[in-house]
Structure 1
Amino acid sequence: MRILVVEDDVQLADMLTEALTNRQYTVDVAGDGEAAWDWCETLSYDLILLDITLPKLDGIRFCQKIRDRNMTVPILMLTARDTIGDKILGLDAGADDYMVKPFDLDELMARIRALLRRGSVAPHSSIVWGQLYLNPVTYEVAYAHESVSLTPKEYALLELLVANGRRVMSRPGIIERLWSLDDSPTEEAVKFHIKTLRQKLRAAGAPEDFIETVHGLGYRLKQL
């Protein structure tokens, strides 16, 4: 899941980035509304956390611009403006939810999960592919009831492959979904993560070709 944080308070943006990254979300940060708009024209986001008071293009106009383009990405506004009129203005501009600063981090994460559940895939329900089991709440992985210990990036990669099933994921596509623009690795890094992921799955009993290489294209899971 890729989230765009639009916030000009650097300290708050860093805090949100750390909290979201620790929960396996891929995060990009924009410090003003125009930069955020440029990113939305470049990448597809699963959710936007949006401050209202922003340089260059404020949150209300940014939100209206998103909806005028018929973009359906969920938007959660984060703002110090706490009057009923401010909330109505934000929701009428196209926001899906509204939280007042300062906010409780656990409540924010719960609201993010609720907004993501409205999409086509519920990000926090159990995921199964054959004998493979993933729990997105606890990040536990098992194959044929054998526990598999993964790094956060390995888990995110496996979850991405399971979500796409037999659809081939290219290395650039994997990088786009799992790394922020400020932290994009080389394709060799993707090959390394695939290699270690295969080794750990094989150790738990998965077949050699559980993650298939489609030469010249990318990777996909073995047909059930």
Structure 2
Amino acid sequence: MTCLIIDDDPLICDLIEHFCSKINDITSVTTTTSGFESINLINTSSFDIIFLDFNLPDITGKDILEIISSNSCVIMITSNKAFASDSYNYDQIVDFLAKPIDFPRFFKAFQKAKSHISKNQEKESRLFIKDGNKLVKIELESVKYFKSEANYVSVVLQDRKILTLMALKDLEVKLPDYFQRVHRSYIVNLNKIDSINNNMVELGEDYIPVSQSYEKELLAKINLLN
């Protein structure tokens, strides 16, 4: 798992990073003392768990919660115990740690986050879409890419295509992290990419254009997955 620690106190960042180093499931830790920098990090990278301080000097933890995706997995860390009851109004928050923090309580919060992530991944592994008058279950791992076609989306699998009435932007928010928008008309499964060359993505016999506006995000996500 990858983690992001956001706290204006470097000592707290060091402590949480030390706690993370004791857990084998955590493979990468990024720290920042700036709320604004954390937003840039969240927008350009993918983190499984975010440890978020409530009281930041440039932007509050509450403000960050309003900005980031509702699918984020956040453990709040703060001395502001008054926020504890309000914190559960946010879908992103899975637990609340009050300073000072000890490892047993930290580990309990991590276990809750791990369980939350596991349940979300299970939900995200499949999607039901409308095909004519029936709902069809799609195993997302088998999807090569999605293509916008006017008011429809074409779901391209290894052996077939399904045309469903929906907007690509509505579909995009339902997809797991291994899908990436590469063009206003295409979302690709990163695990199905064979090569990227001359602003084109190759998926088997299919070649998908990559818009300049999505190229940087695509390359950043591929590097993260690797």
Give the structure-1-normalised TM-score: 0.50
**Equivalent residue number for residue 45 of structure 2:** 43
After TM superposition, give the deviation of residue 169 of structure 1 in Å. 11
Q: State the SS of the aligned residue for 1:60.
A: helix
After TM superposition, give the deviation of residue 121 of structure 1 in Å. 6.9
Matched, 1:7 2:7: yes
Structure with greater strand share of residues: 2
The verdict on how the C-alpha distance between 1:63 and 1:18 changes in structure 2, with shifts beyond 3 A counting, is same
**Equivalent residue number for residue 29 of structure 2:** 27
Matched, 1:89 2:107: no
Structure with greater helix share of residues: 1
| 1:90 partner letter | S
Matched, 1:176 2:176: no
Q: 1:110 aligns with which of 108, 111, 123?
A: 108
Equivalent residues of 1:60, 1:93 under 8 A apart:
no
Q: 1:63 aligns with which of 58, 62, 65?
A: 65
Equivalent residues of 1:8, 1:32 under 8 A apart:
yes
The verdict on how the C-alpha distance between 1:30 and 1:169 changes in structure 2, with shifts beyond 3 A counting, is farther
After TM superposition, give the deviation of residue 53 of structure 1 in Å. 0.4
Q: Which runs of 5+ in 1 are unaligned?
A: 123-165, 178-217, 219-224
Equivalent residues of 2:65, 2:90 under 8 A apart:
yes
**Equivalent residue number for residue 187 of structure 2:** none
Relative contact order, higher structure (CA 8 A, sep 6+): 1
**Equivalent residue number for residue 214 of structure 1:** none
Among all aligned residue pairs of Structure 1 and Structure 2, give the percentage whose two residues are the same amino acid: 20
Equivalent residues of 2:45, 2:221 under 8 A apart:
no
Equivalent residues of 1:33, 1:56 under 8 A apart:
yes
The verdict on how the C-alpha distance between 1:167 and 1:8 changes in structure 2, with shifts beyond 3 A counting, is same
**Equivalent residue number for residue 181 of structure 1:** none
| 1:176 partner letter | L
Equivalent residues of 2:94, 2:112 under 8 A apart:
no
Distance, in Å, in 2 between the alignment partners of 1:14 and 1:169 is 40
Structure 1 stretches of 4+ with a deviation exceeding 4 A read 166-170, 172-175
Q: Which runs of 5+ in 2 are unaligned?
A: 121-190, 196-219
Give the structure-2-normalised TM-score: 0.50
